């Protein structure tokens, strides 16, 4: 594990709107958007006792879809910093979803989680398989354990993953 304290994240620029959204520009002049879209009602129903917690779906893409990604440790540092900020300030949960074509991206996300200190955060993984589709979605849930509904969020997530089998 490398020392991440030496890597400086890019400056996140907060975007106006209903979702938590940021942009940043890399040293290679590539602009990215990072969004945390409220997906509570989509994945969790009224029977899930999660209080007023928000389940935020993490999304990260270059603004110019045609741009080729360039390896850059500051991008990872920026994304991890944004996740920690969202979890610490909101004490909620983040969903990270990758379709079957993005299995490598899911593995990369696992690596980030393992390589960084998350303190009061736990991660749970699952898969969604849809009966009418050959695709599998890889899903990770990251929860701030200081959220008073953390156990309920984890239980609801586990139930969704189990009921999908």
Contact 120, 84 (CB under 8 A): no
Quickly count: other Cβ atoms within 10 Å of residue 71's Cβ. 6
Domains and CATH numbers, the chain: 4-163 (3.40.630)
Q: What is the pLDDT of residues 18-27, one digit of tens each?
A: 678 999 999 9
Q: Which two tokens stand for residue 37?
A: 């879209």
How far, in Å, are 16, 68, 105, 139 from residue 134 at the CA level? Answer: 37, 28, 19, 16
Q: Please say if the pLDDT value at position 106 is more than 70.
A: yes
What pLDDT is attached to residue 164? 55
Q: What is the gyration radius of the CA atoms in the chain, in angstroms?
A: 16
Structure tokens at 50: 């999660």
Which pLDDT score, from 0 to 100, does residue 1 have?
44
- What is the C-alpha to C-alpha distance for residues 80 and 156, in angstroms, rounded to an integer? 25
Tokens 């890019």 belong to which residue? 10
**CB-neighbour burial class of residue 102 (10 A; exposed 0-12, middle 13-18, buried 19+):** middle
Provide the token pair at 35.
């969004």
pLDDT in tens, 27-66: 999 999 999 999 888 888 877 888 888 899 999 999 998 8
pLDDT of res. 79:
95
Q: What is the rounded CA–CA span in Å between residue 84 and residue 71?
A: 22
- Give the count of beta carbons closer than 10 Å to the beta carbon of residue 11: 10
Are 93 and 142 in contact by the 8 Å Cβ rule? The answer is: yes
Strand order in the sheet with 121-129: 13-14, 20-25, 31-38, 55-62, 93-98, 136-144, 121-129
Report the predicted TM-score, pTM, of the whole model to 2 decimal places.
0.86
């Amino acid at each position: 594990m490398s020392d991440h304290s030496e890597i400086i994240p890019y400056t996140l620029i907060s975007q106006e709107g209903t979702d938590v959204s940021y942009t940043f520009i890399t040293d290679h002049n590539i602009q990215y958007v990072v969004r945390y879209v409220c997906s509570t009602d989509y994945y969790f129903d009224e029977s899930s006792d999660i209080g007023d917690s928000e389940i935020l779906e993490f999304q990260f893409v270059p603004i110019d879809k045609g741009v080729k990604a360039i390896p850059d440790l500051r991008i990872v540092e920026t994304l991890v910093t944004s996740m920690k900020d969202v979890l610490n300030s909101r004490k909620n949960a983040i969903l990270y979803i990758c379709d079957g074509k993005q299995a490598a991206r899911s593995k990369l996300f696992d690596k980030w989680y393992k390589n960084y200190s998350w303190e009061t955060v736990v991660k749970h993984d699952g898969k969604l398989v849809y009966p009418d589709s050959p695709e599998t979605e890889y899903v990770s849930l990251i929860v701030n354990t200081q959220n008073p509904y953390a156990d309920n969020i984890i239980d609801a997530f586990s139930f969704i993953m189990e009921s999908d089998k």
